[in-house]
Structure 1
Amino acid sequence: MELALQLIETAKQQRALHLDLGNCGLKELPDELFELTWLESLGLGDFYIIVEGIKYEQTQNLGEPNQIMALPTQISQLTALKKLSIGNIQIHNKHSHTIISDISNLQECQSLTNIILWNCSVTNTAALKNLTKLQTLNLSSTKVSDISDLKNLTELQTLARMLHKPS
């Protein structure tokens, strides 16, 4: 958590538009994060989006992997957030999927254009159905089997989706 708080403080001082909190050993998102209302891009996993579309960069943080269970309601306070990566948060156990399974609070994040959910335990996309600005969505290696909730997302240009094979 200490690394995350340092990175958040630096982002606050510099009014940074992008913040990489991957490998910060987080079990939940710190309240201080939600003060960065100008933030446009947030990385919580191994990698994060650095440009429009699907181009990723590895996290530079060398701490412990994040083990976040769910995204809190405060995520909607990041009103400028366009890009969110919660994909491939490494968990040290026998399961290959990220702990995150609850993305319901993303439904209030109306500015999102790019979301990476790769290798998460997400099972449905209902929370994303009203994100009308969404252009890129990576659902690869998730447990999502039905994407009918996405049918009205007219701005969606890229959908990466490789089905999860149950073990």
Structure 2
Amino acid sequence: RGFLRLFSVKKAEGETNLWNQPNLMLQKFSAPNFAATTKLKLVPEEAKNGKSAGLMVFGLDYATLTLTYKDGSFVLRQTQALEAKKNNPEGVNEEVKLNTNEVILKVEVSAPDALCQFSYCLDGEKFINIGKPFMAKPGQWVGAKVGVFSVSDALIKYGGYADVDYFRISSK
């Protein structure tokens, strides 16, 4: 059985969000109503801070559900960046401390307004909503996209990765 390993790529100096991050693995929305689900494990290696991976809805505005390694523990954050192209920083809508580095993440997208609700699951059965609903916006050249990412803060140069067990698109 395989997985996809996404190495944590450092954010460029001065970048406050993921707009210019080169290693976002995204696909265009496939339907007006759908769910995207992924299971990932974040491995920070020797770093004490600054490694993150997650699920995102990307466009001129974007939102994420991000597993972050901070001060020796794992934190799950639902974030959003409005007018991301202008390098506006991400805001945190909700944060939950986790006792694990492995989690199932999901976003449900609902027509007619492409309203997105993030949730997470620790036991393989029950999903818990997190953060606030987010209205997806098209990107600069194409429509909104959904996918996964793994990044490092600008000051953290080496190591760290996320293993993506699966990424699935399904009807809600």
- Please state which band the TM-score falls in when normalised by the shorter chain: under 0.3
Higher RCO (CA < 8 A, seq sep 6+): 2
Q: Which has the higher strand share?
A: 2
Normalised TM-score (structure 2) = 0.27
Normalised TM-score (structure 1) = 0.27
Q: Which has the higher helix share?
A: 1
